[in-house]
Structure 1
Amino acid sequence: MGGAVGLKGTDGRKTLRNAVRKGAKPVSLERGLRFLEEVQRRSQGIEFLTAPGNMGASIADQLKLEHESVGRIGKTTTSDDSIRTARLMRRKRVDLIVFCGGDGTARDVLEGVGGEAPALGVPAGVKIYSSVFAINPAAAAESTVAFLEGQIPTRLGEVVDVDEIAFRKNRLSVKLFGYLTTPDSGPLMQASKSATGMSEDSELDAIAEYFIEKIDPGTTYILGPGSTVERIAKRLGVNKSLLGVDVVKGNGTTLRLDVDEAALMDLIGKNSLKSSTKIIISPIGGQGFLFGRGNQQISSQVIRRVGVENITVVGSRSKIEALHPRRLLTDSGNDEIDRQLRGYLRVITGYREEMVVKVE
């Protein structure tokens, strides 16, 4: 829940309290609700076991979904509750454990079940780099129903996590913690994040050079995370935060570094014309996500205010060609915005080079 307020995750009680103090809202309940609504629409023959309260039962009650609530949780839930619940579900011999959250929750489930029960993640965190997550709640529902009806097999999905302390210090340190058995629903599931290779270095320089040639000194640019956009910022003379979202002018003036959603909305509001603000983003390597993974500060509200026509996507040719299937994804949390983004768009891949890539 820390993404929109720029905290890059909420692992640990102190960070969670800080997120709440900054006005962060939990998104797991909303995403879980969308998942269950879609499951209900697709199938009526599934038996549900849920964790109590806001860990599952409250959503099922809201939808008047018949279910059995099992186990106990604390008033303020922690990773211990997730681990304990996963173990209980394993002992109950459920066919599939579905959880809402990010990589931290995936680690909890891994600790609770190991490889003894299939598990599927509904993406609802900040760090969502593991390959046990569906691309969005609707895809998670489709995968769940297909798996429970025996239509698809399982595979081993990587559970990885980012060191949040290093993440907040502008260092990306990803560690593999193990593997969960997960439904193999192909394009409905995301891949693990891949790092930028040394061979991409010259491509990033070419992208930056081309972008700087086209830049408008009077325009405000919202710069998303990642090494591709960082290279553009460096050519502009801006000391960008590698993993944060920053706001600069086209003339090289830094307006704000490492901003949250509220600051973005405030800065956009000060621009008299919508067209005077543009968003520059690069898809996540190995996954292809444009929004909803690691850049939740650029929320659907921010995108709506700026306009989808004012989004520029940059990424090396090798990054795009390494995507399997070759597509870009959006999971902004707002269906209308995602629909506007879907289709085909141009990605700047080098000096005066662009590729047309499908967005799903």
Structure 2
Amino acid sequence: MGEVKSNRKRVGLIVNPIAGMGGRVGLKGTDGIEVLEKAIKLGAKPVSPERAKIFLDYLKKLNLDIELITYPKLMGEYEALEAGFKPTVIGSVGERTSREDTVKAAKLMHGIGVDLIVFCGGDGTARDICEAIDLNVPVLGIPAGVKMYSAVFTFNIEDAARIVAEYLAGNLSVKPMEVMDIDEEAFRCDRLSIKLYGYLLVPYSPGYVQRAKSPTMPMDSELENQRGIAKYVLELMKPDVLYILGPGTTVKAITDMLGLDKTLLGVDLMLNFKIVAKDVSEADILRFLDDGGFSKACIIVSPIGGQGFIFGRGNQQISANVIRRVGVDNVIIVATWSKISNLDALHVDTGDLELNEKLRGYRRVIVDYREEIVFKVV
């Protein structure tokens, strides 16, 4: 612990060590002690410390002349030391961290006068930092939560290191970007309630920082488009194939056409045109894949509106382990014309860098009845 005395650029690092733990176990977030304890009982493992470490490994390779300022233990110190940095550690934390620790860390870094705060977490972490510093310090989010609807996150971990380097070199300006979050209790009950909580100044680079999540509007033309997609997908579906159905209204239109009750915001499993498991976790999916009883498995996903993510945002139950087991060639992407026309590319952020590369390239997207286009995945 000690005072910061340096003329170098100062980068603050805040890691929310519990962010993202609810994703793979199907809890759609980890806001609140009760939900966190439930996630742990379900076998949830920390996500953000490892993602922070990957970010720091990338940053280390760039050989930037920076002073890294962190909070203690798993809130940045341990990750920085493991990556080979010699961080300046400020503040103190107890055995269990809380949102108050995030707020205090951001306030302390603002008081010290850091040039940039990089945080690793999700929308809840972004809200806490917004509460602490408002528009007073530039901020960049490393995606590690479950939802990440805010426009303060980079598309992936590698992009975060590039933006830090470009911003500190004076090549990027900052832009106020939306901090969004959802009502997690409503989300768990299949209701999507998104609220704008404020803005953070973000080093802006188109193609590297994601936009805020855009909801799909239930217009007649959109609903008709979804029905066309559903009809075509059903014609392509085969018996004895396990279909892993991602969240969203476009995928749900498929089961609606069969008169089946699918979880809107969760992941369900369908076999022989019947729902065999609802709102499953990663462990549930892997268990079904292990048990067999079908000829093959396929994943059906639709991109998040405005962001374009097909994996890594809101569907972490379909993890890298699941995708590898199913196979990247057995992924079916569906998207309405209105959604796809507002995207420059589709995105993947599975947490597995090798798998990300296998998923990237040009992939077929079903956009209407017997209509497909080829779209870039980055």
Please report the TM-score for the alignment, with normalisation by the length of structure 2. 0.93
Letter in 2 for 1:266: R
Show structure 1 runs of 4+ deviating over 6 A. none
Asked whether the 8 Å contact 2:64–2:165 carries over to 1, the reply is: no
Mapped partners of 1:236, 1:350: distance in 2: 18
Give CA deviations for 1:286-316 in whole Å, capped at 9, x if unaligned: 0000100000000000000000111100000
Question: Unaligned regions of 5+ residues in structure 2, if any?
Answer: 1-20
Mapped partners of 1:63, 1:123: distance in 2: 18
TM-align CA RMSD = 1.0
Q: Secondary structure at the match of 2:178?
A: strand
Q: Secondary structure at the match of 1:188?
A: coil
* 2:244 is aligned with 1:213: no
Asked whether the 8 Å contact 1:246–1:257 carries over to 2, the reply is: yes
Residue in structure 1 matched with residue 201 of structure 2 by the alignment: 181
Mapped partners of 2:93, 2:162: distance in 1: 29
Q: 1:137 aligns with which of 157, 162, 179?
A: 157
Asked whether the 8 Å contact 1:10–1:16 carries over to 2, the reply is: yes
Q: Secondary structure at the match of 2:215?
A: coil
* 2:349 is aligned with 1:331: yes
* 2:289 is aligned with 1:268: yes
* 2:366 is aligned with 1:348: yes
Residue in structure 2 matched with residue 259 of structure 1 by the alignment: 280
Asked whether the 8 Å contact 1:74–1:81 carries over to 2, the reply is: no
Give CA deviations for 1:183-215 in whole Å, capped at 9, x if unaligned: 011111111110112241111011011111121
Letter in 1 for 2:124: G
Letter in 1 for 2:26: G
- Please state how far the C-alpha of 1:228 moved relative to its aligned partner: 0.3
Give CA deviations for 1:62-121 in whole Å, capped at 9, x if unaligned: 122021000112210010100111111111110000000000000000011101001000
Mapped partners of 2:273, 2:83: distance in 1: 51
Mapped partners of 2:364, 2:59: distance in 1: 34
Q: 2:256 aligns with which of 234, 237, 250?
A: 234
Mapped partners of 1:294, 1:236: distance in 2: 25
1:14-53 correspondence to structure 2 within 5 Å: 14-53=34-73
Mapped partners of 1:43, 1:173: distance in 2: 42
Mapped partners of 2:106, 2:99: distance in 1: 11
Q: 2:300 aligns with which of 280, 292, 306?
A: 280
Asked whether the 8 Å contact 1:31–1:137 carries over to 2, the reply is: yes
Mapped partners of 1:23, 1:112: distance in 2: 32
- Please state how far the C-alpha of 1:149 moved relative to its aligned partner: 1.0
Letter in 1 for 2:281: D
Mapped partners of 1:254, 1:67: distance in 2: 51
Q: 1:152 aligns with which of 172, 186, 189?
A: 172
Asked whether the 8 Å contact 2:60–2:83 carries over to 1, the reply is: no
Mapped partners of 1:101, 1:238: distance in 2: 35
Residue in structure 2 matched with residue 84 of structure 1 by the alignment: 104
Q: 1:13 aligns with which of 33, 45, 49?
A: 33
Mapped partners of 1:21, 1:218: distance in 2: 33
Residue in structure 2 matched with residue 118 of structure 1 by the alignment: 138
* 2:26 is aligned with 1:3: no
Mapped partners of 1:269, 1:258: distance in 2: 18
Asked whether the 8 Å contact 1:103–1:128 carries over to 2, the reply is: yes
- Please state how far the C-alpha of 1:236 moved relative to its aligned partner: 2.4
Identical positions, percent: 49
> What is the count of residue pairs matched by the alignment?
356
Asked whether the 8 Å contact 1:101–1:125 carries over to 2, the reply is: yes
Give CA deviations for 1:299-344 in whole Å, capped at 9, x if unaligned: 0000000001111000001100011xx1000000101111110000
Asked whether the 8 Å contact 2:268–2:278 carries over to 1, the reply is: yes
- Please state how far the C-alpha of 1:61 moved relative to its aligned partner: 1.3
Mapped partners of 1:45, 1:31: distance in 2: 22
Mapped partners of 1:215, 1:67: distance in 2: 54
Mapped partners of 2:279, 2:31: distance in 1: 19
Please report the TM-score for the alignment, with normalisation by the length of structure 1. 0.97
Mapped partners of 1:333, 1:237: distance in 2: 35
Mapped partners of 1:63, 1:278: distance in 2: 37
Letter in 1 for 2:56: L
Mapped partners of 2:55, 2:177: distance in 1: 20
Residue in structure 2 matched with residue 292 of structure 1 by the alignment: 312
Mapped partners of 2:45, 2:165: distance in 1: 29
Letter in 1 for 2:289: I
Mapped partners of 1:64, 1:338: distance in 2: 25
Question: Unaligned regions of 5+ residues in structure 1, if any?
Answer: none
